[in-house]
Amino acid sequence: MTPNTLKTEQKQELIASLINEGEKDQAIQLLNEWAIQTSFNEVIFSILEPMLINWGKLWMQGKLSLAHGYISGKVAEEFYLLAANDPEFKSSSGKIKGTVILGNAEDDFHPLGRRLVRIYAQAAGWNIIDLGTDVPSEVFIEKAIENNADIIAISAMMFTTAKNILKVRQDIDKNGLSEKIKLAVGGAVFKLRPELVSEIGGDGTVDTAIDSPDLFDRLINQLKIRN
Amino acid sequence: MNSLERILATVTGNETDYQPFTMLLSLYGASLIKSDTSTYYRDPEIWFEGQQAVVDTFDPDIVISPFSFPIEASAFGSELVFLNKYAPNIRKPIITSLSQINSLQIPDFEKSEAIKFFLRGNELLSGKYKGNKAIASPIHSPADLPSLLMGIEMWIDTLLFHPEYIDRIMQKTVEHFVRLGNEFLAGGTTFLVVPVNFTNPMMITEKIFSKLLPYLESAFRQIKGPIVIHNGGCKIMSFIDRFVKLPNVIALVLEHTESFDEARRIIGDKTILMGNFDGPNFVNLNREKATDITSKILNNRKADKHFIFATSNADIPYDTPVETIKTVVDTIRNFRKYDSV
């Protein structure tokens, strides 16, 4: 059976198998071929997203490694970029759920979790503006106002850098934005010390990047109810 | 039977007078002597004072020379951040682009304050306890060290998509590992402890592991003493069949949720198994719970002559009550290991 004649489930398995072997370029090439034969929408919603959701579950259960998550994230990231250039996909894309300003806390140089959040949240329909590592509070606020953002999402790996998020909380409140912008926080330190979320003024957190779209959904719903 | 004899009996599979044990109380030494951690992790004399307090208070069979992988990475130039009541961490990795690997300098042991801290701490520990206690020296695996020099993401990315750079950095980390490991052993260390924080199935795929194994084999073969593989806070079960075949490996420390019985099925009866009380969780336990967990582990390994009770994962936290740790120690000392076996 050639890849062209495979059933949807078999295509998902084939992509999973290529990712498992670290064959990122082959996986993207195959997805692209299928997209040409059908459409980017078809490939994303029937093959890639169900596979990613399944992998996310396996990852959370400890059955896949961080490297698996990294490769699948890279495949998704590069394929979404291809899709973004497709006029049909652009015109048929669903409504953007909202805008998230994403970045690592000031002094934090651990980008992996943040990058995975960006990939999974973009795939779920969020407009993500990624500011990178070591982002000062003023830049988070400035970009949030400039882009009329709904959520500021900040990643921090360590206790010391997580404490820098408190400044963002204070600046949100000081600028009268607390009714308009929610503060999502995440990173290894919040798993170890869950009480830290409220201590630094976070509005919510999740344990893994794959859950970040659900957190953003919850937070934007809170804003809608309030406003 | 002193502590060293007890540990050596475990290596040869002979009976001991009581269950040998160790705990990762490196950070806790600072707590016992009320030292701030930034001094404790810079001054080997202060650090040694803390470890003497650990021995005086808990009397473990294995004492552990200075333990901090970020400090080891700082010897290559990575920036450290010192944290109150925690061990230091990496603020910023030294490598931010792959081209910098070529100019990465292996630490000069004569000049590096970080390396001098490790070696002097080990020297002080050996001077006091050699011949009486087993001395364990933690050292970063050459396959894990790049994750602190360039960050986890870049190291995974390199292993997956930039194979030409793997050998360049691994040559440097293997050379450093062999030199530092053998310096420890020459300075009185009984065995090296090599955590696999990165080289484990929670972090990497089988395919990546197979790329790293030849480097580990080469590095371990050049070490002039025994090696203990430590879980580093991650599950290691699906890799242990490969770990035990590496040169000089005599023991594995399992992660706290992993099964000794399963490990024995995979690797047989001869390799020492250690574990598996979750060290970082000590701070959350009352004495009854600590006793209960300790007893379960001891009873599970009652007949196992190649077993050393140990904490798994990272350091026991700074704020853990002394009584909790003493409760665990008392439970071990009162346990009749070979009765009714």
Instruction: Read off the tokens for A37.
Output: 């034969």
Whether chain A has a CB inside 8 Å of the CB on B91: the answer is yes
pLDDT score, position B139: 97
For residues B189-213, one letter each, b for 16 or more C-beta atoms within 10 angstroms of the residue's C-beta and e for the rest, the string is: bbbbbbbbbbbbbbbbbeebbebbb
Task: Please answer yes or no on whether B161 and A24 come within 8 Å at the CB atom.
Answer: yes
Residue among B93, B156, B159 minimizing CB distance to A109 = B93
Residue type, A136: P
The residues pairing with A103 across neighbouring beta strands, listed in sequence order, are A154
Check pLDDT > 70 for residue B205: yes
> 3-class DSSP state for residue A219?
helix
- B199: chain A residues, CB-CB within 8 Å: none
> 3-class DSSP state for residue B227?
strand
Residue among B91, B208, B235 minimizing CB distance to A67 = B208
Q: Clarify whether A68 is annotated catalytic.
A: no
Whether the Cβ atoms of residue B86 and residue B37 lie closer than 8 Å to each other: yes
Q: How many CB atoms lie within 10 A of CB A69?
A: 25
Tell me the domain boundaries of chain A: 8-92, 99-226
Strand ranges inside B116-255, DSSP E: 134-138, 191-195, 227-230, 249-253
Percent of the residues in chain B that have a pLDDT greater than 90, as a whole number: 89
CB pairs < 8 Å spanning A and B: 58
Grade residue B340 by pLDDT with cuts at 50, 70 and 90: low
Question: What's the predicted TM-score (pTM) here?
Answer: 0.86
Please state the rounded mean pLDDT for residues B247-272: 97
Whether the Cβ atoms of residue B247 and residue B226 lie closer than 8 Å to each other: no
Residue B276 preceded by cis peptide, ω within 30: yes
Check pLDDT > 80 for residue B215: yes
pLDDT score, position A2: 54
Tens of pLDDT, residues B27-39: 999 999 999 999 9
Residue type, B126: S
Task: Please answer yes or no on whether B91 and A24 come within 8 Å at the CB atom.
Answer: no
- What is the CATH architecture of A8-92? Orthogonal Bundle (1.10)
Cα A8 to Cα A12: distance, rounded to the nearest angstrom: 6
DSSP string, B19-32: --EE---TTHHHHH
What 8-state DSSP symbol labels residue A48?
I
Cα B287 to Cα B322: distance, rounded to the nearest angstrom: 11
Residue among A67, A112, A158 minimizing CB distance to B205 = A67
Whether the Cβ atoms of residue A144 and residue A133 lie closer than 8 Å to each other: no
Cα B1 to Cα A66: distance, rounded to the nearest angstrom: 45
- A65: chain B residues, CB-CB within 8 Å: 201-205
pLDDT score, position B225: 98
Catalytic residue among A68, A110, A134, A211: A110
pLDDT score, position A83: 86
Whether the Cβ atoms of residue A86 and residue A40 lie closer than 8 Å to each other: yes
ipTM of predicted complex: 0.90
Look at B106 and A76; give whichever has higher pLDDT: B106
Grade residue B341 by pLDDT with cuts at 50, 70 and 90: very low
Tens of pLDDT, residues A89-132: 767 666 789 999 999 999 887 788 898 888 888 877 899 999 99
Task: Please answer yes or no on whether B92 and A109 come within 8 Å at the CB atom.
Answer: yes
Mutate to test the interface with B, among A109, A133, A191 (most CBs of B within 10 A): A109
Query: How far, rounded to the nearest angstrom, does the alpha carbon of residue B328 sit from its chain's CA centroid?
Result: 20
Look at A110 and B266; give whichever has higher pLDDT: B266
Class at the top of the CATH hierarchy for domain A99-226? alpha beta
Check pLDDT > 70 for residue A4: no
Please state the rounded mean pLDDT for residues A169-184: 95
Whether the Cβ atoms of residue A39 and residue A85 lie closer than 8 Å to each other: no
Q: How many CB atoms lie within 10 A of CB A192?
A: 11
Cα B129 to Cα B135: distance, rounded to the nearest angstrom: 8
Residue of chain B minimizing CA distance to A133: B92
For residues A30-41, one letter each, b for 16 or more C-beta atoms within 10 angstroms of the residue's C-beta and e for the rest, the string is: bbbebbeeebbb
Torsion angle in degrees (nearest 10) through CA of A50, A55, A58, A62: -160
Tens of pLDDT, residues B62-108: 999 999 999 999 999 988 888 888 889 887 889 999 999 999 999 99
Mutate to test the interface with B, among A23, A70, A133 (most CBs of B within 10 A): A70
Look at A54 and B301; give whichever has higher pLDDT: B301
Tens of pLDDT, residues A32-51: 999 999 999 899 889 988 88
Whether the Cβ atoms of residue B119 and residue B187 lie closer than 8 Å to each other: yes
Q: Clarify whether A110 is annotated catalytic.
A: yes
Whether the Cβ atoms of residue B240 and residue B252 lie closer than 8 Å to each other: yes
CA angle B118, B121, B123 (to 5 degrees): 110
Nearest to B165 by CA among B155, B178, B175: B155
Residues 6+ apart with CB under 8 A from A176: none
Q: What is the mean pLDDT of chain A?
A: 88
Kindly list the structural domains of chain B, giving each domain's residue range(s) and its CATH number in brackets, ordered by start: 3-333 (3.20.20.210)
Cα B67 to Cα B78: distance, rounded to the nearest angstrom: 17
Cα A70 to Cα A179: distance, rounded to the nearest angstrom: 35
